[in-house]
Amino acid sequence: MLEETARTFIEDQIGYPFKNKDLLRQAFVRRSYSEENGGENNEVLEFIGDKALDFSVIRLLSKKYGRMANGDCVDPVKLSVQFIPLCPQQPDADITNEFLCDCNEGQLSTLKQKLVSKRTLAERVDNLGLADYLILGNGDIQNSIAEEDSVKEDLFEALLGAVALDCGWNFDTIFATAEIMLNPEQFLAEEKKDNYVGLIQDWVQMKTGNIPLYHFEKANYRSTWYFPFKGISQTFCVLGSREAEEVQYHCLLKISNELPIFRGFGRSKAEARMAVCKLAYEYLEKENLCFSIRDEIENPNKAEAISQLEILARRGYFSIPTYDFKQTYDRNGNPIWKCVCRIAEQERDFCSVSSSKKDAKKTAAFKMLQYVLDKEE
């Protein structure tokens, strides 16, 4: 069995308390360990979790971008039965309440691929602090296998598979846990600056080198409007309000030993987490504790300029840079490369010319990097 402190940490981070603790442990057991010590490993759980994740992501995308033709949201419990005419100009036409979506099949496929990619799942395992609890055989330990993205991807899927079995395939529970583990706001937020979960994640990593610590609780918020709390809490309702009736969860967040605990509320665990992260980030802004764009890059330099721009883009300062190349030749027939670096939100483009395509890209990226850093100042 995993130690109790480890189990509690994992359950808090994913927002799901296991009834069968053996399933939780199994999700972390690699085949290398079971071959050396006996018992079961996480490979079948990984298979189950892969399917549960697909279902959860499709449901998430259909809820975010889809709606019924009469304007209702897609209710996971009961779809609306209010029909509308297929052709409003023809009263006698057949009536329908079809499913409409703001994204086409190709766009949904692209979003799904991003959400379930190996890199995304591995990054989420890192952000949740789960990889440290992998149970490995001696060979895997010697080869540092726990650092590989594929192993972290397996762990993500195995843990979700364990949740699916433990809850008896309760799809609402599976979906809620997948939403917490996946943090889809990273890709689906209307603006990167609104992804408060990601902003808090980055702040904690830069400040302490650790990860944010979450704890979720469900309670009845209709009968009372005040909960004694030694920290900073979101205020969300008054006695008997409709808002109080809709709230089901609160989430506690710890980001630093020097700062208070934060508490937020929501209709779902994911909503409560977003609320508490927004509360915490607004506190950091008020107290002038947020990092500037210059704090993100320790040593701006030409050699790493391409990756440094991508880091800033992933952290929401601007969109991913694009590079356009044009090749010409000098009098002696030697190639000359021109590279233009563009960022959608920036007013200026930056160009570089070199006999090396790679050098032209690096130079253009470095010029853009210096520009965005100086502009922030």
The catalytic residues are 50, 157
- With contact defined as beta carbons under 8 Å apart, do 281 and 198 qualify? no
372-376 contacts, C-beta under 8 A, 24 or more apart: 372/293, 372/309, 372/312, 372/317, 372/318, 372/343, 372/346, 373/293, 373/294, 373/297, 373/300, 375/346, 376/292, 376/293, 376/294
> What's 192's DSSP letter?
G
- With contact defined as beta carbons under 8 Å apart, do 345 and 365 qualify? no
> Could you tell me the two tokens for 47?
């298979």
CA distances to 352, 353, 356 from 331, in Å: 19, 16, 16
> Could you tell me the two tokens for 304?
């790493």
CA distances to 327, 369, 372 from 342, in Å: 18, 11, 12
The 3-state DSSP class for residue 276 equals helix
> What's 80's DSSP letter?
-
* C-alpha–C-alpha distance, residues 350 and 364, integer Å: 6
Q: Name residue, tokens 């079961």.
A: 40
Strand order through the sheet with 335-342: 322-329, 335-342, 350-354
